[in-house]
Amino acid sequence: MRTRGARLHTLVGAYVVDAVSPADRASFERHLLSCEQCQADVRGLREAAARLATAAAVSPQPELREQTMQAAERIRQLPPLVDGQQGRLRAGQRWARSWQRYVTSLGLNAHPWLARVAAGAAVILAVTATVFGLQMASMQNRLSADRQRDAAIAAVLGAPDRTTLTAQVSTGGRATVVMSHRADALVFIASGLARLPASKAYELWLMGPAGDSPAGMLPPGRHGMTGPMVVDRLTRGDHLAMTVEPATGALRPTSSPLVMVGLAP
Amino acid sequence: MVGSDPADGARPGPGQRAGPQSLEVCLAAVARGDHAAFRAVYDQAAPAVLGIARRVLRDPAQSEEVMQEVLLEVWRTAARFDPSVGSATAWIMTVAHRRAVDRVRSEQRAAERELRAATASIAYDDVTEAVESTLDQERVRRCLDGLTDLQRESVTLAYYGGYSYREVAQLLGVAVGTVKTRMRDGLIRLRDCLGVE
């Protein structure tokens, strides 16, 4: 027991910088409940680690501030925890309780992000969806909203199996795909795509063993953002690809893909 | 509604220690649903949250998402912040780092991991980022310089690179047990050098 405790205590640094597996994390946090020295160490080392974060500070894009404030308007706050037992606990125990509670209340404790979402951590999903929703919504307004597309986007963003993938576009910019096999659709957005002459446009494709099928022409970018674009009827194992085509569109890709995103699993 | 914004007046410059309106004070007001206080929290915390997300995730769009998620989690759970557990900054940065790392570990595909391994060596000296040069940053850099190479690399690969201690061990070609103790000793030295507790 003693050696196990010592082994766990060595983990304190790795624990503080999140370099541990979920299993290590869980056993260290159990150990933390009864180890006052570890609690003191974690507390001090977390302050040190936080300084590594503040030293890396970068200025967010100004518009993110207002977006975040707007999102907060829609999120109900959790009430404080009321615990009649607290007064009777020793300081160390109280600390460990608080620690555990806030870690678990954030849903950060057990499993990786997607597993948690799949397991039904609805709140995290709600927060994520709100952020996404807002970004989508503001884009939406600029691009004259289409109600059907709204519904399709909402279905993807709200799907429990939703996954987000991003990829570099070889000619510049970045593509983000939010995909749900359950909703059988994906939402495509790109930022910073290279400007094309008026005679050309970006076209999306679903490429798979069964052949390549056109998945839609992207509208011209606005403020550096292109999309959102909904693509449905997905096949697992297919790839979503983007090429440059004549502005009128093509039935088969006539140039090589600038980005490919795999749609499995 | 968030019309006038009294907290803005007390808004500290980037990297400055919080003045009269400490993050703890703002958080207590946020817990009561004060939107102006949330703005002040955002101004103080968002740059560091975005910074660490950028270091770990690299991708600007994903980092912005994580930053917003973390700030909204702070909004949602402010009433549960317990100052006896540590400073508000440490709380928020713990959440931010964990969120970024969780996302990397769950979404990373093999190819991306390899790419990251190739770029990991520049994590510490990454000067291409528009990092706000502050006294804080200088101090952290000086303290990092005071670590042994193995301590520094273990800490920064884990914290800025988002690697697990097993991955760090592999990247550095040393035993897993060695990496664990170097992470601990490096952080202890950093803590003592920075004079935080």
Contacts of A111 (CB under 8 A, 6+ apart): A22, A119
Q: Which long-range contacts (CB under 8 A, 24 or more apart) does B2-10 make?
A: B2/A69, B2/B35, B2/B36, B2/B39, B4/B36, B5/B36, B5/B39, B6/B36, B7/B36, B7/B37, B7/B39, B7/B40, B8/B36, B8/B39, B8/B40, B8/B43, B10/B40
In this predicted model, which residue has the larger pLDDT, A120 or A136? A136
Percent residues over pLDDT 90 in chain B: 59
Which domains are delineated in chain A?
Answer: 2-60+84-105 (1.10.10), 161-262 (2.60.40)
In this predicted model, which residue has the larger pLDDT, A121 or A195? A195
Other beta carbons within 10 angstroms of residue B164's beta carbon come to 21
Which domains are delineated in chain B?
Answer: 7-107 (1.10.1740.10), 110-197 (1.10.10.10)
Measure CB to CB from residue A48 to each of B101, B163, B196 and give the nearest one.
Answer: B196
Give the C-alpha separation, A231 to A216, whole Å. Answer: 8
In this predicted model, which residue has the larger pLDDT, B183 or A208? B183
- Per-window interface: A 154-173 vs B, CB < 8 A: 163-166
In this predicted model, which residue has the larger pLDDT, A183 or A77? A77
pLDDT bin (cut points 50, 70, 90) of residue B1 is very low
Compute the C-alpha angle A101/B43/A46, nearest 5°.
40
Percent residues over pLDDT 90 in chain A: 18
pLDDT at A113 over 70: no
Please give the structure tokens belonging to residue B155: 């800490």
**pTM score over 0.80:** no
In this predicted model, which residue has the larger pLDDT, B172 or A4? B172
pLDDT at B69 over 80: yes
Give the C-alpha separation, B169 to B179, whole Å. Answer: 6
pLDDT at B151 over 60: yes
In this predicted model, which residue has the larger pLDDT, A171 or B6? A171
pLDDT of residue A134: 53
- Cβ of A23 under 8 Å from any chain B Cβ? no
pLDDT at A129 over 60: no
Q: Which of A81-90, A210-219, B138-147 has the lowest mean pLDDT?
A: A81-90
A125 Cα to chain B: minimum distance (Å): 10
B34 Cα to chain A: minimum distance (Å): 11
pLDDT of residue A88: 44
Residue of B23, B41, B76, B142 to mutate when probing chain A, most A C-beta within 10 A: B76
pLDDT bin (cut points 50, 70, 90) of residue B66 is very high
Taking only the tens place, the pLDDT of each residue in B20-56 is 479 999 999 999 999 999 999 999 999 999 999 999 9
Measure CB to CB from residue A81 to each of B80, B95, B186 and give the nearest one.
Answer: B80
pLDDT of residue B131: 47
pLDDT of residue B129: 43
Residues in chain B with CB shorter than 8 Å from the CB of A108 are 95, 98-99, 102
Measure CB to CB from residue B196 to each of A20, A44, A101 and give the nearest one.
Answer: A44
- Cβ of A55 under 8 Å from any chain B Cβ? yes
Buried b (16+ CB within 10 A) or exposed e, B78-107: bbbbbeebbbbbbbbbbbbbbbbbbbbbeb
In this predicted model, which residue has the larger pLDDT, A133 or B19? A133
Please, are residues A75 and B38 in contact by the beta-carbon 8 Å criterion?
no
pLDDT of residue A189: 84
Residue of A51, A76, A163 to mutate when probing chain B, most B C-beta within 10 A: A51
Average pLDDT over residues B119-130: 41
Residues in chain A with CB shorter than 8 Å from the CB of B196 are 44, 47-48, 51
pLDDT at B157 over 90: yes
pLDDT of residue B128: 38
